[in-house]
A and B are shown apart, each in its own frame.
Chain A
Amino acid sequence: MQSSAAPVITTENLTRKFGARRAVDSVSISVSSGESLVLFGPNGAGKTTLLRMLGGILKPSSGGAKIGDVSMPGGADVRRRIGIVSHHSLLYDALTARENVEFAARLYGVRQYRQNAMQALEAMQIDDRADTRVSELSRGMKQRVSVARAIVHNPDVLLADEPFTGLDVVGAKALSTLLIESRSRGAALVIVTHNVDEGLSLATRAAIMNRGSMVSIEDRTAIEPHSFGSRYAAMVSADA
């Protein structure tokens, strides 16, 4: 059910064009504090582009996105509220896991950056490899560090693009716990995933995007997982 609280994330006719192609086409959504909107959609549906605009990395062609009352890309105050898990790791291979997370913490103005960095690495159960260079970590371990990087400043808006990619069972469980805890303490989450079971287990609302448009947004309580999965699979197949 959509929360009655004031929305933290709002988009209005948000559109992004690359040349003539509309990667995101007039998307209007709102996500409130304590909500998690999980986005499904085939490759090229525009999910990543939508997240990049919400994160202030990409400018919209028309329409707008707001975090709180501030239009994105916004200033330092609003960007400090956002954590981003990209499908790229955003990490530096030559630095250790700890150095990467501490660097991010300092960029976000975290005073106790050493302590917060270790806490974030512990939350993702990768603290035992804190002093290992990222270049020496496996894909899944890198992903854990990437998530730690995104949450080190305790954001109240978390944008996660396929955050489970490469994670093993332990990593996936740590991430699920972390996302649920973030939501419980009032964070607004937008999560992109292809895994219907995983996505629905985290969602308060689930949306399907296709060809840049929002095809459906439903409350999680109204979704029957099996039929939702079949509908989504049929859409992906039809689009392939």
Chain B
Amino acid sequence: MRDVMADAWLIARKDLSIEFRTRSAFLSAVVFSLLAIVIFFFAWDATAVPAIDLAPGVLWVIFVFSGLLGMHRSFGVEEPDRAIDGLIAAPIARESIFLGKAIASLVFIVAIQVIAIPAVALFYNLPLGKIAAPIAAIAVLAAIGLVAVGTLFSAMAVNTRLAELLLPMLALPFFVPIVIPAAQATAKLMSGRPVGEAVAWLKLLIAFDIVFVVACALAYPFTIEE
């Protein structure tokens, strides 16, 4: 297990180095996030819908779609010179490839969240101060589930001609069980309810995280076998 995690970290560091240098997916995701916040903000009638009802939805729409950009790139970087063959032939567990890709995508999504959450709070005038820590915890927990599913489907979609289309089509239905408890828990906290009221949703979120991480890590080796 130590070897699996060490190899996963090696692959994640490689992916993050590539993203840090090219910044192609990250910049696209940040621009998309900020643009979406602005569009939602100007389409919003503050007299009809309170900010605390709208903001959690805005937040999770942004995370899901900006996250897809990063997940698509996850296996996309392996394609141009078939570097994935180098990983498959290497003396490492297939699971470490999956985990490495998932860790890199997790860092990507968390980086988007670090920018998007304060931006949403700013636009919708949300008192984030006291609930910042629990909101961050929810965001990270949901990101774990999203990257597990997204990484698996990215591996499946990358070799197809319509990868950009196929990844969201495959992944979005599986994102629903993650996004519902995450959005519900976020809404409870943003509306000033005590953390205890969000615990049931958090438990559900953690349960789906465990199921998706284990199932996707076990299923991944089958996606790369030709």
Contacts and interface: CB of A to CB of B under 8 A. Distances in A.
A91 B81 CA distance: 6
A79 interface: yes
Interface string B81-104: 111011111111100000000000
Find the residue from A77, A80, A89, A90 having the highest chain B CB count within 10 A. A90
Interface residues of A, number: 31
A114 interface: no
Contacts of B92: 76, 107
Interface stretch (B13-21, B170-178, B200-208): B13-21
A109 B91 contact: yes
Nearest to B15: A92
A76 B91 contact: yes
Interface string A68-93: 00000001111110101010111111
A84 B89 contact: yes
Contact of A107 (B7, B17, B22, B85): B7
B88 A57 contact: yes
Given A79-B90, A80-B91, A107-B7, A58 B226 contact: yes
Interface string A124-139: 0000000000000000
Contact of A92 (B18, B85, B89, B225): B18
A179 interface: no
Interface in B171-225: 225
B123 to A, nearest CB: 34
A93 B83 CA distance: 10
Nearest to B3: A76
Contacts of A103: 10, 14
B226 A59 contact: yes
Interface in A115-153: 149
Interface residues of A, dominant DSSP: loop
A60 to B, nearest CB: 11
Interface string B63-93: 0000000000000010011110111111111
A110 B154 CA distance: 30
Contacts of A93: 80-81
Contacts of A108: 90-91
A56 interface: yes
A94 interface: yes
B104 to A, nearest CB: 13
A49 to B, nearest CB: 10
A24 B30 CA distance: 48
A89 B91 contact: no
Nearest to A82: B89
Contact of A88 (B10, B82, B87): B82
Find the residue from B10, B17, B21, B90 having the highest chain A CB count within 10 A. B90
A137 to B, nearest CB: 12
A77 B80 CA distance: 28
Given A56-B89, A57-B89, A90 B225 contact: no
B142 to A, nearest CB: 29
Contacts of A89: 81
A68 B81 CA distance: 29
12 contacts: A55-B89, A57-B226, A75-B91, A84-B85, A88-B82, A88-B85, A90-B83, A90-B85, A91-B81, A92-B83, A93-B81, A94-B21
